[in-house]
Structure 1
Amino acid sequence: MDAILVSDLPVATKVQRFSEAQQRVLAHSAKARNLLTQTDLTEALEIASAPGTYKPKSPISTSAQARFASHFAEQNDNPRTRDVYLSNIKRFSAWLTTNGKELTFDTVAEYLDSVSKARQTRLGHLAALRKFHKWAIRYDQHYRDLFATKSSPLDGHTHARVGENAGESWTAYTQQEAERLHAAALANEDMDLADLIAFACFTGCRIEELGRIRRDTTLFDEAGQPVGFRVDDSKTPSGIREIPIHPALLPIYKKRLQHPQGATQALFPGNDKTKHGLRLNGLSQRFTKLKRKEGFGNKHVFHSFRKCTATLLHQANVPTLVIPFILGHEVGHITFDTYSAGPTLEQKREAICTLPFQFA
């Protein structure tokens, strides 16, 4: 009966049926020779029966992502950075599969446009994808077979260099602007925010670093008086450093030492349960409201205090090799970044004491 039915089919249909059968045989043969996994075989059979419905799947498999995550954990000790990178890789892979796109230069460009026009955001996504690409070319056979002999589809992309999408750097506060914001916080009776502003200006620390100052990171002299503190967790290895306490900051520091906050016994109150230890989200949001009320826009952020400190240190003729060790930046020379232990705490104290802030 089947033979009679087949013989009655149009020639074009017969050819199509034969082609499907031939592809099925080839797929099963490849499976038998261990050229296809069971998952690959299922996909191949689906393609054979309905080639018009086939959509490419991302070459960045979930198993490859998991193996890359293990590798990256051995290369980068910052959990926040790792999570951002892995999230960006996962997002791109899902986008390829959902849209049925192959991984090419054009699809990467299309993806970046779908994510953002902002230069910094695009560069952040590309950094994660390039990190995965470099690893996968070496250690993932499927990915290596696809791309080892080709130019990287992640290179050569352009991004805005002028205008609002160019990602101009944040603007530093002047000394007077910093003092005005501190006075505004005092006027709002927000002592935590006022003290946080003073700490930022007199130390040059990032807000997350200020949120992790504790008694057990405080440096004491022989008389038991606080003289500095350790930044024991930072976004880069060069950020791990010791900061002296400016004389004008000392009374505030000692007062806060007497009233530790939260489970971590930190100097500032915050949320100890936030991911990656970013405790001061609440204070950060209060600062955003304050600076907007004072007329500052998006180019002025809390990080702008750090730029203000750097500017004033520079203008005070502090030795240029001391400033990076206060701010936690790389110098850019192997002698100083790798071999030197950096300036002493006393040398950094002399630099810090040049800061002229006048906080009421």
Structure 2
Amino acid sequence: FLLAGAGIESLERYAAIKHRDIVIDLMATYCPQMKTLVLINCDLDDNSMSILKNLKTLQTLTLASSARLTGKHINNLVHLTHLNLYNCSNMRTSHLIQIFKDVPNLRALDMRECRQMTPELFTEMVKYCKQLEVLKTSCPEFPYSCVAILPNLKELVLSEYIPGATTQIVLLQELVANKAKQLEVLEIYSENSLNFEHVSLISKLKHLKVLNVANNQVVNDDALVKFGKLKQLEVLTIRRCVSITNQGVLKLLQSCSLLYRLNVQYCTKITNEFVINVIPVLSDNRSHNRKKPFLLLVDPELLDEKTLALFKQYTIAVKEFLIKIDTEMSESDLAYGPYWKKRPLSDGEDSDETSRD
């Protein structure tokens, strides 16, 4: 840090730090131009945050999976625009509210798995976070639909892991009333928390570009007809929505001419026939604005590329970059969602792995 710190603007760490507070103090002292700091699984505490307050230019801070953090002292980092507190389970409402008050330019906030939330947290967020565009949160049992009136909200990610939980209808009603022409991303990580009323409300969010409603049985062909009204839709995840069929997805592609990325993994009724039948749709002039290639994420046990390769129209479509089939699971399709383009590395992974999205 003494030799190179003045030129360091970004630093990432994905494991515990030996002599943690000494290292953080060196970082805060000798890296005055630091703008991005990613510390995941680093076992940080409030004292660590007290030291970091000297990073006067810090804009993006990721502190995921540090259970001892309470949020104290983070409010001193007044220039933050992006704050990721994913799985910092000991966060206190009082400290989070102080962050809202003292960090006026916060544009992106991830507080999923921060389990000690109270109703006051969301009302104060709406009061102070006027610049907030991205909100990722676990869903409390109490009402929190006030987030729909955040003036600049464009992306909302909801995680519901309580068995039998139902996404609050009033939240979607408020989103339709206040953000139908603004919300671009809606991701709901849950299992069977939606009903057809939810589907109907989602279909009224006309400016959605990204939608994730995976693991919900109510998402069937009738639901896809509703989603066909989303003319700006570019990315759709309906993974493990087992009722959808080839014909239902084909009609969706015909209605949504901008849709270029579709996840149908573990949708057991999607077969090779869909791939062959979708090629004319992708070749149609009405699809000229669709990004290429059309990326289809599938279950390798249900779609067989070796069999598809026997069809001339498929091999031509692949060569012309009309379609690409992917059988791997990307980070954004995992239940916990991505950190800001990064996540903790597991044993054996390369350290330069980044999100596919």
Provide TM-score, normalisation by structure 2. Answer: 0.22
Give the structure with the larger strand fraction. Answer: 2
The TM-score, its normalising length taken from structure 1, stands at 0.22
